[in-house]
């Protein structure tokens, strides 16, 4: 993307992707009896791929905070989830930024995010908020993430292989 990451074009792209993240997280999802399939991770992964781990982490944290402030009825603010969002962006950036966008890298990024963030930190935050024992929460979260991880891998890989996105962002 060039040496200056904070030109008007870059800031506009990051802002648009952050807005898309809020919309996809809050309003667009496929509900099934087993799992809720969301698409909010895709804009964060694209920001990470284009601008690196730290910008993606900050953008994800800001998006989490703004989403809660804009739509407070959906959930209450808890700073642990903002930390999780930041770390998720960092993970995607460390694995996808300035590196080949292979299926193997996508799988690694999604698995690390699933295990460390979704099953690790987010389960801890839910335990703190709901004051429930981990052994009650964890099995359902494992099943949910076992279903979601392959779907997230396919979605992210499909997006990263999109020719229009690759041409517009000049990624390898």
Q: Compute the chain's Rg from CA coordinates.
A: 16
Residue 11 pLDDT > 60, yes or no? yes
Residue 68 has a pLDDT of 87
Residue 26 has a pLDDT of 79
Residue 172 has a pLDDT of 47
Residues 46-71 have pLDDT tens digits of 999 999 999 999 999 999 999 888 88
Please give the average per-residue pLDDT across 159-164, as a whole number: 82
164 band by pLDDT with thresholds 50, 70 and 90: confident
Model confidence, pTM: 0.85
Residue 1 has a pLDDT of 45
137 band by pLDDT with thresholds 50, 70 and 90: confident
- For 52, list phi and psi in degrees, rounded to 5: 100, 170
Specify the DSSP class assigned to residue 33. Answer: S
Residue 3 pLDDT > 60, yes or no? no
4: number of Cβ within 10 Å: 8
Query: Do 69 and 77 meet the contact criterion of CB atoms below 8 Å apart?
Result: yes
Query: Do 43 and 17 meet the contact criterion of CB atoms below 8 Å apart?
Result: yes
Query: Do 158 and 42 meet the contact criterion of CB atoms below 8 Å apart?
Result: no
Q: What is the mean pLDDT of the chain?
A: 86
> Distance between CA 84 and CA 42 in Å, rounded?
15
- What is the CB-side half-sphere exposure of residue 33 using CA atoms within 13 A? 0
Residues 81-101 have pLDDT tens digits of 999 999 999 999 999 998 888
Residues 19-49 have pLDDT tens digits of 999 988 878 777 766 567 778 899 999 999 9
Residue 129 has a pLDDT of 84
């Amino acid at each position: 993307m060039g040496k200056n990451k904070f030109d008007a074009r870059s800031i506009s792209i990051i802002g648009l992707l952050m807005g898309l993240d809020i919309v996809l997280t809050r309003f667009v999802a496929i509900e099934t009896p087993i799992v809720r399939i969301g698409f909010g991770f895709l804009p964060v992964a694209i920001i990470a791929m284009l601008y690196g781990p730290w910008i993606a982490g900050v953008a994800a944290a800001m998006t989490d905070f703004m989403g809660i402030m804009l739509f407070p009825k959906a959930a209450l603010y808890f700073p642990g989830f903002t930390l999780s969002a930041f770390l998720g962006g960092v993970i995607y950036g460390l694995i996808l930024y300035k590196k080949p966008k292979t299926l193997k890298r996508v799988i690694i990024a999604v698995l690390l995010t699933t295990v460390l963030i979704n099953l690790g930190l987010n389960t801890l935050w839910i335990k703190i908020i709901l004051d429930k024992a981990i052994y009650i929460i964890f099995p359902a979260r494992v099943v949910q993430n076992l279903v979601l991880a392959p779907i997230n891998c396919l979605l992210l890989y499909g997006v990263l292989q999109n020719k229009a996105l690759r041409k517009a962002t000049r990624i390898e």
